[in-house]
Amino acid sequence: MNNSFARIVLAVGISCIAASAHAQSGSDTYKAKCQMCHAADGSGSTPAGKAMKALPLNSPDLIKASDAQLIAATTSGKGKMPAYGTKLTVAQIKDTITYIRTLQK
């Protein structure tokens, strides 16, 4: 019984560490590529964000968008947002979307 419990605790701990690592790399990518328009808090309130009419990340449309839709928009670009498919890896884009979800709360 104790051995099973220890395995469960270890598995949960590893999952939390992995999620934290993804959020951290997503945070770094967000700061480097997204923050100049979308702002540190995701509000889109930067001068560039206002000029480009960047949606706040907590807008209802972006909250209800699926991860796949956000990945596609980031990869291919949407509206005035440039495409990042050749500038970022798929993993970086996915990690950034994971981080963006934390800004929507």
58-95 per-position pLDDT tens digit: 999 999 999 999 999 999 999 999 999 999 999 999 99
Other residues' Cβ atoms within 10 Å of the Cβ of residue 78: 14
CB 105 within 8 A of CB 33: no
* CA angle 35–93–38, rounded 5-degree value: 20
Band the pLDDT of 2: cuts 50, 70, 90. Answer: low
Q: Provide the whole-model pTM.
A: 0.74
What does the alpha-carbon distance between residue 82 and residue 97 come to, in Å, rounded to a whole number? 16
Query: Does position 53 have pLDDT exceeding 90, yes or no?
Result: yes
> Where in the sequence is the domain holding 97, given as residue range(s)?
2-103
Helices 2-29, 90-103: inter-axial angle, 10-degree rounding = 100
Which long-range CB contacts under 8 A does 64-71 form with residues at least 24 apart?
67/94, 67/97, 67/101, 70/97, 70/100, 71/97
pLDDT of residue 48: 95
The domain spanning residue 95 has which CATH number? 1.10.760.10
* CA angle 63–66–67, rounded 5-degree value: 105
Structural domains counted in the chain: 1
Band the pLDDT of 105: cuts 50, 70, 90. Answer: confident
pLDDT of residue 4: 54
